[in-house]
Amino acid sequence: MIIDRTKRPEEKGQIKFKLPEIQRFELKNGLKVIFVEKNNLPIVQMLLYVNDGSKSDPKGKKGLAFLTSLLMDEGAGNLDALQLDDEIESLGSILRCSSNQDYSTISMLTLTENFVRSLELFSMVVSSPLFSEKDFIREKKKQLTKIIQLQDDPEFIANTAFRKILFKETPYESPVMGYRPEVENINLDDVKNFYDKIYTVKNSTLIVVGNITQSELEKRLNNILGNWNNQNEYKTGLPDFQKPQKRFYFVHKEGSAQSELRIGTTSGVRNAPDFYAKTLMNSILGGQFSSRINLNLREDKGFTYGAHSSFSYNRKGSSFVVSTGVESAHTAESVTEIFKEFEGIKKFIKPEELDFSKSYLIKRYPSMFETYTQIAGNLSLLPQFDLPDNYFNTYIEKLERVTLDEVLESARKTLNENNMVTVIVGDEQIIDSQFNESAGEIIKLSSGDVLSEKVI
């Protein structure tokens, strides 16, 4: 075979890719189930998606959703915390419980041969967690200590400060981990009440991806998880997000080896039609390695190991943020460059850039459905954002249809300089030497301000 190294080889052939077929059914207790059968490995992944999290923490008790999720796997049914863990480990299964602002999850990965017993244990965790006083005291101490430790982490401080400013006076302003004095205030009854209110049949969707037939799965689920019977209902109202005003915050962290930057603003909801234009705009601007911001700050200037931007969506809207850690000496210059990139993308996008990003996102789509865990995670987007079942089938087509003008429009809508919040976590010695008055007012915060319930 003769090759010509001077030319990039053409792609050969066609991709035939079938998206996983999604089945839906309900258990006798009314629990909604989304199922995908997948048989290349003897594995079953279960994921209980519970549609609420720390945004429903009561006032003065921030951190309750997190503490509840810490306690979920500390014993269930007739097994104490150690017995439960021992049995799961003996089966070679993996149980995880977690909570974020919008939702909580309980997941279990198991070999098919151990599916039935793993499902029984999973079911016990879901429907009859132990919530013993002794486990509660221990896990609460763990959370309180974790909050102390997070003061060391500049990325956590930057993310927390950014969200606190952006989502001021909404339930999204506080970190999932909560604040120390408020966690101190939580008692075991709070956990039990939160569990009764949030972890309900009506509020949950079970996602199963695995090596099992639908009829077998339905039978097993009905026999085991079908007896879970918390039918409580509740509704939460959420205030609308305000567009933030342009502000510049500096958090001093002594001995910082770099400056952590967050620059961004609020944006719209996930299931709006401009989702696809925003996705493409972000991809061109900072969403992947070959994006403008990364090529500028990393591959041209060498100021950073990496810089990227993203939209992260919640029930009420989203945030857009550029995140990077940069060499302290080039902090101000990096901020200037990021704002330049905002202005640049509002003015001009080359058709090749749009083609590149479309190609990147569309052609990699099959690889988003590779692992059992990935597929389950993708399916959880459906209940999370009330997306229709054909969402995955129409994704590529909708991306393809986006025009250059729509991408420019989404850049103009998102990247308004007057609404940009800038947070820097670094050593304050750099402020005087790098930021002059033209930068505007710099609001100085301490990491204590950021990580406490104090309003900033």
Partner 1 sequence: MKNVLNINYERFKLKNNLDVVLYKDESLPIVAVNLWYKVGSANEKPGKTGLAHLFEHMMFQGSEHVPKEMHFRYIQEAGGTLNGSTSIDRTNYYESVPKTALEMVLWLESDRMGFFLPALTQEKLDNQKGVVANERRQNYENQPYGLAWEKLFAALYPPEYPYYWPTIGWMQDIQSYTLEDVRNFFETFYSPQNASLVIGGNFDPAEAKELVESYFAEIPNNAKVPALNVPFPVLNETKKIIHEDNVQLPRIYLAWISDKLYGPDDAALDILSDILTGTKSSRIYKSLLFDKQIAQDVNSFQYSARLNGSFIISSTPKPGIELHTIREEIFKQIQGVVENGVTEEELKRSVNSFKSSYIYSLQNLNNLVDQINNYTCHLDEPNSFLYDIGRYEAVTTEDVVNAAEKYLNTNFVELNIVPKK
Which of 53-61, 87-95, 119-127, 406-414 is the region at the interface with partner 1 (rule: CB under 8 A)? 87-95
Nearer to partner 1, 62 or 358 (CB): 358
- Residue 52 or 74: which CB sits closer to partner 1? 74
Q: Minimum Å distance from CB 92 to partner 1?
A: 3
Among the residue ranges 55-63, 183-191, 369-377, 378-386, the one whose residues contact partner 1 (CB under 8 A): 369-377
CA nearest neighbour of 162 among 99, 249, 98, 243:
249
- Pick from 61, 164, 292, 298: which binds partner 1 (CB under 8 A)? 298
Closest CB to partner 1 among residues 237, 351 = 351
Please pick, from the candidates 366, 388, 440, 448, the single residue that binds partner 1 as defined by CB under 8 A. 366
Pick the stretch among 170-178, 187-195, 200-208, 255-263 that binds partner 1 (CB under 8 A): 255-263
Backbone angles phi, psi at 93, to 5 degrees: -95, 165
Task: Round to whole Å and give the CA distance between 93 and 16.
Answer: 33
Q: Does 329 bind partner 1 (CB under 8 A)?
A: no
Report the alpha-carbon distance of residue 373 to residue 175 in Å, rounded: 26
Residues 6+ apart with CB under 8 A from 290: 356
Q: Cβ of residue 104: shortest distance to partner 1, in angstroms?
A: 21
Q: Which stretch binds partner 1 (CB under 8 A): 25-33, 34-42, 230-238, 343-351?
A: 34-42
Q: Is 152 in the site for partner 1 (CB under 8 A)?
A: yes
- Binding to partner 1 by residue 153, rule CB under 8 A? yes
Among 60, 181, 239, 302, binds partner 1 (CB under 8 A): 302
CB of 257 to partner 1, least distance (A): 4
Of the pair 111, 431, the CB lying nearest partner 1 is at: 111
Could you give the strand order of the β-sheet that contains 23-26, starting from the edge strand earlier in sequence? 23-26, 32-37, 204-210, 43-50, 104-111, 94-99
Q: Considering the complex, state which of residue 40 and residue 438 has its C-beta at the smaller distance from partner 1.
A: 40
**Segment contacting partner 1 by CB under 8 A, of 149-157, 178-186, 196-204, 335-343:** 149-157
Nearer to partner 1, 242 or 393 (CB): 393
Q: Which stretch binds partner 1 (CB under 8 A): 144-152, 179-187, 261-269, 383-391?
A: 144-152
According to CB under 8 A, which one of 185, 371, 434, 446 is a site residue for partner 1?
Answer: 371
Query: Does 179 sit near partner 1 (CB under 8 A)?
Result: no
Where in 110-139 is the site for partner 1 (CB under 8 A)?
Answer: 110-111, 113, 138
User: Is the dihedral angle over the CA atoms 288, 292, 295, 296 positive or is it negative?
Assistant: negative
Q: Is 5 an interacting residue with respect to partner 1 (CB under 8 A)?
A: yes
When asked if residue 340 is in the footprint of partner 1 (CB under 8 A), the reply is no
Q: Which is nearer to partner 1, 237 or 255 (CB)?
A: 255
- Whether the CB-CB separation of 172 and 162 falls below 8 Å is answered with no
Strands 204-210 and 421-426: unpaired
Site for partner 1, residues 305 to 324, rule: CB under 8 A:
305
Show the tokens assigned to 395: 């994704």
Q: Which of residues 420-449 bind partner 1 (CB under 8 A)?
A: none
Question: In the bound complex, what is the minimum distance in angstroms from residue 298's beta carbon to partner 1?
Answer: 6
| Binding characters for partner 1, 40-79, by CB under 8 A (x = yes) | xxxx------------------------------------
The answer to the question of residue 363 lying near partner 1 (CB under 8 A) is yes
